[in-house]
Amino acid sequence: MKQSILRKPFRYTYNNVAFGIIVVNVLIFMLNYISPHSRFYTALIPGLVLQKGFIWQFFTYMFTHAGFSHILFNMLGIFFFGVQVERRMGSSEFLLFYLVTGLLAGIFSFIVYILTGMYGVILLGASGAVFAVLLAFAVYFPHANIYIFGILPVRAPVLVIGYTAIELFNQVFSMQSGVAHLTHLAGFAFAYLYLVIRMGINPMDSFTSGRRGGRWR
């Protein structure tokens, strides 16, 4: 039986794509730091997309950050979790996963902002894609412990579920103004769909019993 193009696997390679993503983020951060006005071209601003046709912002927003702490924590997420996920997925699959989930999280947020009249909001940061990577890490490494504040061990799936609950709460009650909780949730959701549709993996199997289905490396 001919394999669906949606599930056709890439040839496995490992080329340190995660580090490449970090480098691109740092370079764009330096550009925005040197020329703050450039952030209006690289962040996702619904009004500019509609009025000026800046459709590239759906892609560039995930490489744009507001400040040093913002980029630091996102890049640490890619370093600690993205590298491990890339080793399991392979570099080509990981790059596609990262870009697709980040892109779709941005598009989804854009639609919500337009429907709610928030044309001037500025969406930036790799968080949507990083949250997608975190979900993938929990699925590939369900028994891994992540140490909160370097002290409290929490299993990866529990951490993902906890983060999801916190993001839902903050989105509903508008906690922590300025944080794109909706985009974080979208990152989780699109990562889940990607794993099911593209990889043939049901994340819940990993979360509940550690069983491994679909295409695992």
Percentage of the chain lying above the pLDDT 70 cut: 84
Identify the structural domains of the chain with CATH numbers, from first to last: 13-209 (1.20.1540.10)
pTM for the model stands at 0.88
110 has pLDDT over 80: yes
For 40, 66, 97, 177, 216, the CA distances from 134, given in Å and listed in that order, are: 28, 21, 12, 23, 17
Is the alpha carbon torsion for 154, 109, 95, 194 positive or negative? positive
| Phi then psi dihedrals of residue 154, to 5 deg | -135, 130
- pLDDT tens, residue by residue, 192-214: 999 999 999 988 887 776 555 54
In sequence order, what are the beta bridge partners of 151? none
Q: How many helices (H) and strands (E) does the chain have?
A: 11, 2
- pLDDT tens, residue by residue, 65-83: 999 988 998 998 899 889 9
pLDDT range class, residue 165, cuts 50, 70, 90: low
